[in-house]
Amino acid sequence: MAVLNKIRQRSLFLILIIALALFSFVLADLFKNSDALTSKSQNIVATINGKDITREYFMQKVEQLQRQMGPSATNTQVMNRVWEQEVRQAVMETQFDELEISVEKDQMRDLLKTSLATNQNFLNEAGLFDENKMNEYIANLKETSPEGFASWVNYENQVASNALNQNYFNMVKAGLTGTLAEGKLDHELEGNKVDIKYVQVAYSLIPDSIVDVSKSDITSYISKNKNQYKVDASRDIRFVEFKEAASVEDENAIKIELETYVNGRFVDDRGRKDTIVAFSKVKNNEEYINSISASDIKFDERFVFKSSLPTEAADAIYNLNEGEVYGPYKHNGSFKVTKLIAVKQIPDSAKVRHILIPFTGAQSAGPDVVQTEVEAKVTADSLLTLLKKNRSKFPEFVKGFSSDQGSVAKEGRYDWHAYNTMVPEFNDFEFEGKTGDLGVVKTVFGFHIIEVEGQKNKTKAIQVGTISRKIEPSEATTDKVFRDASNFEINAGKGDFSVLATDNKYTLRPVNGIKVLDENIPGVGNQRPIVRWTFEEDVEVGAIKRFNIPNGYVIAQLVAKHKAGLMSADDATAKVLPIIRKEKKAKIIMDRVSATTLEDLAAAEKTNVRTAAGINMKNPTISGAGREPILTGTAFGLNEGETSELIEGAKGVYMVQVTKVTPAVELDSYQAAANRVEQEKASSVNTKLYNALKEASEIEDNRAATQVQ
């Protein structure tokens, strides 16, 4: 009881102690993960001039663009593209808001009218843009297709954004004029000329070995030029790659398997029943090839010319007799066996014109395509009937009905092109038929009304069948690679990574300067998991990890972590050393020179007095010395006959004397020159304005913190 009473008496004290302990626990966690103090860094990808871009919005844009760019674009490439788009939009919107400029309803209507002036869905009977048709189309989208309507809204926003950008850039250009004074100055910079004599004492005459550049010199230079040597946080790694590549034994096994199809296999004395007919004796080649599980490619009935055959085997295959087989031969990472099935003469090129009638669901059909496949076929057949009666209507029908914008401007025509240039059905019609043929052909793009306008150069073409087997490592080989990688990972954790790689004759690859949003690791390509691992907080220098990569493994070690800030002296040496060395060479030369005339300087330094004529300020290039702006500027500051003091130039120390001054020809009017200045200013707006606005903007990049990477 006495103990309980003491606890009760000190209950307030205990509560305070417990509260402080809990509070310190929470604080410790917050400081461990400082982002927890605010949810902003976890949900906001970027803040640009005060405008937040949320993670959800950003990822939605990424998904949309990924669908447009297709699987060939990596996730990081797509994200970087979206990032640049969003930064640009935010930077420009800041300017639009400050100037209070926008696209109003009337202007938007005019913009859409201009943009959609040739869209067949919005034209009336007279071929003119009909706003009512567009409004009906939008209303129909809104009710029947939320995705389609969202796409339309994005399109309108893009049209409006483009217009605002154009208006802004035009406003800036309108404020940039070329005055007569500027025109006169530009004319004089180019027209004023001087002839000079000069002596160059080249820096290359002083050996690098006698110029001492210390680490402190480099550090001091970096400190004086901080803006040039700012760096982002980065990581250095080294790695060993273990490739799952087919061995010689694996390749031989594949060749033996393919030879079975060349020679055939029959029931033998031991009663084997897995009979395989020799490829050369097969009648149904398509069924034979497509039924063989070993073949990586299916039968293609199209004929080909010699130029389309594998280079390594083209002569041998092209000269086979019908039914003969060649192989196995190695081509493009596979072993192949090829049979010549048939031979015929085919034109090597053709000329056609066509009208493409797409339907909903056809490849490349736009959102404005509303005809079903049946309706598109009816349209194509109707046009064909009319064209058979009067082919002169072809250009008119192309303009009114064809969706192939690549050929509309050429009256639907594709000029002379090679065999197999077009999709198979289109190709067969234009090359299997004859000049003058007219018909309807269905392809993945829709229905084509095609007229063959010409064929030439009939050449031997062959139909071949090929059994192909990709050269891949066997299970035994992949198991060995896995064991080797696992053993290296385990042993590297116990000893020296570099020594172990050398002892086992593995190639050790260093990669330095990896940034947090990088994706490419030289030698192994897109490897975001490796990059992310190097930037995880709990991964320390020396850590080792195995990564699965296509066809193998990478065992990587984190070698160094570099914080954001100024470049280290070691990292900057390659760039800074030549600069400091040049400065020190200039000082050595200038300290030892006492000459005051060109002749004395040339004699003392065992060189020659050189001449250069017609130098102007607009192009500061000196004959015999190259581009030397300081030397040129000094020359234009001297009077005729005057000699300069020593000048520290780009390639050496100089002394210069002006021998002749030729002023620019005076003009009655400098308006033409002023116009050129104005034109140059306007041109620079297109290339420099946005970058200047971006540099002046406040951009907070949180992609790494929000794990948008």
Average pLDDT, the chain: 88
pLDDT tens sequence across 11-38: 444 444 444 444 444 334 434 444 443 4
CA angle in degrees (0–180, nearest 5) for 70-75-79:
105
| pTM, two decimal places | 0.62
Report, as an integer, the average pLDDT of 229-236.
91
Alpha-helical (H) ranges within 463-558 are 475-492, 497-503, 528-534
Helix axes 569-592, 215-224, angle to 10 degrees: 100
Determine phi and psi for 85, rounding to 5 degrees: -65, -45
CB-count exposure of residue 273 (10 Å: 0-12, 13-18, 19+) = exposed
> Would the pLDDT of 445 be above 50?
yes
pLDDT range class, residue 293, cuts 50, 70, 90: low
Share of the chain above pLDDT 90, in %: 60
- From 319, 364, 371, 365, select the one nearest 340 (Cα to Cα): 319
For residue 74, the model assigns a pLDDT of 83
> Which residue intervals of 409-460 are DSSP H helices?
424-432
Amino acid at residue number 601: L
Position 39 pLDDT exceeds 50:
no
Q: Which residue has the higher pLDDT, 125 or 168?
A: 168
Q: Per DSSP, what are the bridge partners of residue 240? A: 555
478-500 residues labelled b (16+ CB within 10 A) or e (exposed): beebeebbeebbeebeeeebeeb
CA dist., res. 660 & res. 47, Å (int): 59
Which pLDDT value is given to residue 106? 84
Q: For 70-95, what is the mean pLDDT? A: 88
Give the mean model confidence (pLDDT) for residues 214-230.
93
pLDDT tens-digit map of 621-670 = 999 999 999 999 999 999 999 999 999 999 999 999 999 999 999 999 99
Q: In angstroms, rounded to a whole number, what is the distance separating the alpha carbons of residues 159 and 133?
A: 19
Q: For the chain, what percentages of helix, strand and coil (3-state, to nearest 5) are there?
A: 50, 25, 30
pLDDT at 368: 76
Q: Which residue has the higher pLDDT, 42 or 421?
A: 421
**Residue 453 has what pLDDT?**
94
**Mean pLDDT lowest for which of 291-305, 438-452, 527-541, 622-636?**
291-305
Higher pLDDT residue, 341 or 117?
341
- Give the pLDDT of residue 18: 42
Query: Helices (DSSP H) in 33-145: which residue ranges?
Result: 40-43, 55-69, 75-99, 105-115, 131-144
Q: Which of 97-111, 283-297, 334-348, 435-449 has the lowest mean pLDDT?
A: 283-297
> Which of 430, 420, 429 lies closest to 462, judged by CA?
420
What is the mean pLDDT of the segment spanning 440-462?
A: 93
Between residues 7 and 89, the one the model is more confident about = 89
What's the longest Cα–Cα distance across the chain? Answer: 118
**248 pLDDT band (50/70/90 cuts)?**
very high
- Asked if 175 contacts 685 with a C-beta cutoff of 8 angstroms, the reply is no
CB 669 within 8 A of CB 662: no
- How far lies 595's CA from each of 125, 196, 434, 640, 652, in Å? 90, 18, 88, 20, 16
The reported pLDDT for the residue numbered 708 is 59
- DSSP structure class, residue 266: -
Of 78-82, 142-146, 697-701, least confident by mean pLDDT is 142-146
Q: Pick the most confident of 128-132, 363-367, 379-383, 516-520.
A: 379-383
How much is the average pLDDT of 362-375? 85
